[in-house]
Amino acid sequence: MLGEIVAMGPEGVCDYCGCPLALGDRVTWSMVWSCGECFYCTRGLRPKCERLMKFGHEKIAPDRALIGGMAEYCHLPAKTAIFHVPPNVPDRVASPANCATATIAAVIRNAGPVSGQVVVVHGAGMPGLTACAMAARGGAAQVIAIEPDARRREQALAFGAAAALDSALSQDQILARVKELSA
């Protein structure tokens, strides 16, 4: 989700870091909104918020109109985590920030350092390509993608995978090849 601020309330809006935003600023925002006040939010479990709302995943309701992240206009309720997108960051780079990029960053953060490790990525869609790039950039000893589509296997190589295996191979063949590449 990526947008330009076209309107805001009279009190103005600040980004996640507390910096004021202005009309015309390019922004992206968290895919989920949480209240910050319920039992779960006050205990650091915002993804379990009792009033959790996901942009683009909710039924349209009077208090939740214009929340489809891919719509022409999107209303960002108070307490939405908004991030300013610098002018030098192209739309194609900023657009996946709160989906593929954030998801893979969380996976790598929770998995621990990838430096010197063999990382196997299953699938080379947007999240998989992001995983290849982040693992390679993080110093992985080897990044191996497994993907059925030949074009996506080529993309995985361009995004940092050292090898891209066809998932149509048998499980034994894939395992043998991963072991060979990991030695």
Residue 19 in any domain: the answer is no
Q: What is the mean pLDDT of the chain?
A: 92
Mode of pairing for the β-strands spanning 142-147 and 118-122: parallel
Share of residues in the chain with pLDDT > 90 (%)? 68
Q: Tell me what the mean pLDDT of segment 58-84 comes to.
A: 81
| Model confidence at 58: pLDDT above 80 | no
Tell me, yes or no, whether 174 lies in a domain.
yes
* CA angle (88 as vertex; 85, 91 as ends), nearest 5: 60
Residue 173 included in any domain? yes
pTM above 0.95, yes or no: no
Which domain covers residue 135, as residue numbers?
Answer: 101-182
Q: Given a cut of 80, is residue 109 above it in pLDDT? A: yes
Average pLDDT over residues 56-73: 76
Identify the CATH number of the domain in which residue 109 sits.
Answer: 3.40.50.720
Most confident of 22-36, 101-115, 126-140: 126-140
**Total number of domains in the chain:** 1
At 14 the pLDDT is 94
Nearest Cα neighbor of 101 from 133, 79, 78 is: 133
